[in-house]
């Protein structure tokens, strides 16, 4: 992830030196036949734009229909995807996070190493879906997260310097409360906000996060007794002590609404929320803060950046050639590129998809890109956890939010990790 900034800076540069065998750099011609491509995806924030893109694609490709189903926004996409395959209603295109998740679904995923877009993909974005010298998915985009904050509310509260340490964040909260403002919107009714993004703050702060995860998978290290996790819990406590009422019954949409309507000054989220925020209150003066767990400013002044997911093709699909053509079109056609940047508000994972003006993506993505360009990013690590672990982490943290028993939370996390790592 420390290389992400350099990769983003190269977004506008064409480079075909690493073209996959057979890649031509242009979209292939769609097979001429009637077909319906079933797409099963989790990004609720682009669902409306995807419906419009569906119309555009179908108008350009007579005989081809897109059947798009979105499951997310608090629902367990992984469980829903497994249910799809179990029932026999298999999608032709679906989402996969890569790394360990790629291993889980390996026998269902088509090798796409020969596709035209591969040579145009940023190297860092290929990593999650690369295995044995092959590529098994198209990166959806690049994303980053931290504490999104309302700059106008900070200014009204007299906060002149953006907090980079836990003490500075505490001071900012005190000033916001003194000015009659609620510091945080906490959507802790969502297991993934806690079990995926929040917990990762602690994992990513380790000197070698990937090695720490491997050691935890092997049972060589524990969460209980780890100083970094103790520090992380202090940050979690700070959000609880300075957040909205009833965080465990606050879902994702309510969290975003609280923040976008000016009822809170901060929320833990990423640039994927820009579209929803704009619908509620356009042109908000926003920025992204780090999520500090202690007072080491150099280590804490970083955002968390990575590839959120990938488009993959079902290797057993009867319309997999049509599915591949759709993915080619998505990242090579002018219409597809326009949707990626201007409708989805995605930070592109492809060199040829330019963001001519960072304002197009909004201020949240602007800060993510600025931190990335400066090399001030930390990694996403949950794709290497045992299957189902993020759900267990979310449940354990939700229990902590209710009972505030830190020792029990850490014990439960270790217990579930050991159980799932043995499967």
Are residues 119 and 193 located together in one domain of the fold?
no
Give the CATH number of the domain where residue 251 resides. Answer: 3.40.190.10
- In contact, 255 and 272? CB cutoff 8 Å: no
Same domain (yes/no): 111, 233: no
Does 148 lie in the same domain as 124? no
> What residues make up the domain containing 128?
14-142+309-354
Query: What contacts 155, CB < 8 A, 6 or more positions away?
Result: none
pTM for the model stands at 0.85
Q: How many residues does the chain have?
A: 423
Chosen domain end from 295, 320, 354: 354
Residue 233 forms part of a structural domain? yes
Exposure string over 109-130, b if 16+ CB within 10 A, otherwise e: bbebeebbbbbbbbebbbebbb
Beta strand 303-306 pairing with 130-131? unpaired
Is the residue at 189 inside a domain?
Answer: yes
CA-CA distance, 126 to 415, in Å (whole number)? 33
Among the listed ranges 30-34, 255-259, 416-420, which one has the minimum average pLDDT value? 30-34
> 267 pLDDT exceeds 80?
yes
Distance CA(375)–CA(389), nearest Å, equals 29
Q: How many domains does the chain have?
A: 2
Q: Is the predicted pLDDT of residue 75 greater than 90, yes or no?
A: no
Among 262, 267, 256, 282, CA closest to 359? 282
Q: Is 323 in the same domain as 268? A: no
In a domain, 191, yes or no: yes
Q: Are residues 226 and 274 in the same domain?
A: yes
Q: State whether 164 and 254 are in the same domain.
A: yes
| Residue 358: per-residue pLDDT | 75
Tens digit of pLDDT for each residue in 348-370? 999 999 888 878 899 999 999 99
173 and 277 part of one domain = yes
Q: 105 and 77, same structural domain?
A: yes
Q: Residue 232 above 80 pLDDT?
A: yes
Whether 78 and 131 share a structural domain = yes
pLDDT tens profile 206-219:
999 999 999 999 99
Residue 297 and residue 153 in one domain = yes
Asked if 95 and 50 sit in the same domain, the reply is: yes
């Amino acid at each position: 992830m420390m290389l992400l900034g350099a990769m983003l800076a190269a977004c506008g540069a064409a480079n075909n030196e690493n073209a996959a065998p057979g890649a031509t750099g242009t979209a292939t011609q769609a097979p001429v036949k009637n077909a319906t491509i079933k797409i099963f995806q989790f990004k609720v924030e682009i669902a409306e734009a995807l419906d419009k893109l569906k119309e555009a694609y179908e108008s350009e490709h007579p005989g081809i229909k897109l059947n798009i189903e979105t499951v997310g926004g608090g629902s367990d996409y992984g469980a829903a995807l497994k249910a799809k395959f179990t029932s026999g209603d298999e999608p032709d295109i679906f989402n996969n996070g890569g790394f360990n998740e790629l291993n889980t679904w390996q026998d269902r995923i088509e090798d796409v190493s020969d596709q035209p877009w591969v040579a145009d993909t940023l190297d860092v974005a290929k990593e999650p879906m690369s295995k044995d010298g092959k590529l098994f998915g198209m990166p959806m985009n690049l994303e980053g997260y931290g504490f999104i904050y309302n700059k106008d509310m900070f200014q009204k509260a007299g906060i002149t310097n953006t907090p980079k340490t836990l003490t500075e964040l505490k001071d900012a909260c005190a000033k916001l409360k003194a000015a009659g403002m609620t510091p945080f919107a906490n959507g802790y009714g969502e297991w993934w906000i806690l079990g995926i993004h929040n917990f990762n703050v602690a994992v990513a702060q380790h000197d070698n996060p990937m090695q720490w995860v491997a050691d935890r998978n092997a049972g060589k290290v524990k969460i209980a007794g780890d100083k970094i996790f103790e520090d992380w819990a202090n940050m979690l406590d700070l959000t609880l002590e300075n957040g909205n009422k009833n965080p465990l019954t606050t879902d994702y949409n309510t969290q975003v609404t609280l923040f976008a309507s000016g009822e809170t000054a901060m929320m833990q989220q990423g640039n994927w929320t820009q579209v929803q925020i704009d619908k509620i209150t356009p042109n908000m003066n926003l920025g992204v803060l780090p999520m500090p767990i202690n007072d080491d400013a150099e280590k804490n002044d970083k955002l968390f950046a990575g590839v959120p997911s990938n488009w993959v093709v079902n290797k057993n699909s009867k319309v997999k050639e049509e599915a591949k053509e759709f993915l080619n079109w998505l990242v090579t056609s002018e219409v597809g590129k326009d949707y990626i940047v201007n409708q989805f508000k995605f930070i592109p994972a492809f060199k040829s998809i330019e963001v001519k003006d960072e304002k197009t993506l909004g201020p949240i993505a602007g800060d993510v890109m600025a931190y990335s360009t400066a090399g001030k990013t930390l990694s996403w690590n949950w794709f290497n956890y045992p299957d189902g672990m993020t759900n267990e982490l979310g449940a354990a943290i939700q229990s902590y939010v209710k009972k505030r028993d830190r020792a029990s939370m850490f014990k439960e996390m270790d217990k579930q990790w050991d159980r799932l790592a043995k499967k």
